[in-house]
Amino acid sequence: MLDRLEERFARLLELVAIVLMMTLVVVIAYSVFGRQALRISVPWSEEVAAGILMWMVMLGAAAAWSRRRHIAIDVVLRRLPLRGRFVLSILIELSSLLLFSVAFTGSALMMRSSAHMATTALGVSYTWLYLALAFGLGAMILFSLLYLGRLFVRGPSMVANLDAGLEWSTSSSS
């Protein structure tokens, strides 16, 4: 059941990121159209686009982290025996948790210190921008904890199929 909830949450993050991407395209297109065709300035578009971009990236990154879709160099991991692969997977996840936690703490500090500052065109508090960072990192922390829990519960069998995928090879004829 927990796996299903995690999948639904990741899917929701992904869908919101997709909607934000479409919104970003519309905002930028309107800005360009306004400037080029209508000869009007759209001063708010840069701020809105930056905010949308930040939220889109962080939600998409969290959804990708949930599915283990970030770029990884796993040459060493694939070459290790099962027990070594399992131990290294735990160390990688703990290191990721440490990185996310430090960045999360930094984003929380930035939210606090920028609470009194507002954007120029819209007057929106910068806290809302840093909230995207905190929310995305918080989701990645949650996904890492769930993955780490699965590693401990399921054991080495969880990382047994890493070499089932195709590896890139210089001797391939394709």
Tell me if 30 is assigned to some domain. Answer: yes
The span from the CA of 131 to the CA of 140, in Å, is: 14
Are the C-beta atoms of 8 and 66 separated by less than 8 Å? no
Residue 130: CB partners within 8 Å, gap ≥ 6? 107, 110, 111, 114
Considering the chain, what percentage of its residues have pLDDT values greater than 90? 76
Mean pLDDT of the chain: 91
Q: How many domains does the chain have?
A: 1
115 has pLDDT over 90? no
20 vs 129, residue with greater confidence: 20
Interval 1-18 mean pLDDT: 96
Task: Evaluate whether residue 174 is within a structural domain.
Answer: no
| Percentage with pLDDT > 70 across the chain | 93
pLDDT for residue 140? 98
Query: What range defines the domain where residue 11 resides?
Result: 2-161
pLDDT digits (tens, 9 = 90+) for 64-90: 999 999 988 888 888 999 999 999 999
Q: Are 53 and 22 in contact (CB under 8 A)?
A: no
Q: SS3 of 125, please?
A: strand
pLDDT for the residue 164: 54
Q: How far apart are CA 95 and CA 147, in angstroms?
A: 13
Q: What Å distances lie between residue 82 and 4, 78, 125, CA to CA? A: 27, 9, 50
